[in-house]
Each structure stands twice: as C-alpha cells, then as structure tokens.
Amino acid sequence: MQKLVRGVHKFQANYFAKHKELFHQLATGGQAPETLFITCSDSRVVPHLITSAAPGELFILRNVGNVVPPYDPANAGATTAALEYAVCVLNVANIIVCGHTQCGAMNALLDPDRLRELPYVSRWLRHSARLRDLIATRYTHLEGDGLLTAAAEENVLVQLEHLRGYPFLARALEEQRLQMNGWVFKIATGQVFDFDPESEEFVRLGEVKSAPPPPAVR
C-alpha cells in the first residue's frame, strides 16, 4: 500500500504538475475518447502504457478474459452498459478487443478443472465456452504456449463476433461511424498483433507487408 501512496505523490509532483492544463480541460470539458478499449483484467496488461495514450483518449472496459457476452437485453450487465455508453453517448470511432498471451482465463477454458473452486469465474467464462470446440477442431497440432496463444487469438475473434450482435453497435458499423479491431498483446516481447481480415491472420502492428515481386519479363 505504501508503494501506491508514494506513487500518488510522484504522480502529483511530476506528471500532473506538467499536464495541469490537460486535466483542467478534462475536468471542465468532459471526456471525448475516440476509442473503446476492451481488455483483460490481468495486471500485466496496461492499455495506456501499451498505446502511449494520454488521459481522456481511451474509454476502458476490463474483465476476466476480455469477454463480451452475446447480446441479451433481458440479462444486460455492466459490460453491456459500458458498450452502450461508449457507442451511443461518447460516440467512439473505434473499438479494440485486446487479448494477451499467458492468459489465465484461456488456461481455464482449455482446462475446466481449474475452475472447480471458482464458480463465479466459471459462470462468466461460459460466454466464451464455444472456444473449446474451436480449439479442439482447429488446433490439435499445438500444445503449451502455442495453444494458449491460439486460444487468446480465437477468443478475440469470438468477442468481435459477439459485438456485432448488439443492435446499436451493428447500426454504427453499418453507417461507418465505427470500426473494430482485434489485438493480441505479447507480454514477453511487448509486441501487439492486429487481426488482418484479408489474410485471416494476426499481423504485428505497424508491420508493412512487402508487395509481391513483379512478374518476370519473358
């Protein structure tokens, strides 16, 4: 706790002191973030650090496994409320679903025995239960960290699919007021991979694909 208190003092003496005008604008003008960033509660994933975003730039939704429950108006919870507020009130232009490597939630989905003593986590992860079938069907050749990374990637795609089922979000996508991306953060290297719909692969963010060589002249 004392470390956190010292951190608050350091923040006030350094970062806040240098950015007083920014915080004044945020306090008086409200927030206008461009991006809703949906990610895991894992302490190793720090959205502002990964993206170098300033205060006020990201509207962040965090939960175990960066899960978006399928649309169900009769059982809407905190995640649905955050989505609605971000899209309908803040008018965010981007939604990013960001998974990560070595994710405990993915480990639990692959090995349900880990959830025997965690009934609430188990209930929450049922929203991604079909991920087990995807992994069992497509990734029989993988194991260990490779399998866990594949699970994190597929989980991001499942959540993007769930998002498209929300009427207010589907409408924003159709009107081209909103775009969505799926990311995976690799903790060990700091790299971020973005899903490319054309290649159907996760490509390192910022990586420029080389153009194919011109045909040979005959």
Q: What residues are annotated to the active site? A: 40, 42, 44, 100, 103
- For residue 108, give both structure tokens: 């639990």
CB atoms within 10 A of CB 55: 15
Spatial distance between the Cα atoms of 39 and 60, rounded to a whole number of angstroms: 8
Phi, psi angles (nearest 5°) of residue 50: -65, -40
Identify each DSSP E strand in the chain by its residue range. Answer: 35-40, 58-63, 94-100, 179-186, 191-196, 201-204
Spatial distance between the Cα atoms of 152 and 105, rounded to a whole number of angstroms: 9
Number of helices followed by number of strands (H, E) in the chain:
10, 6
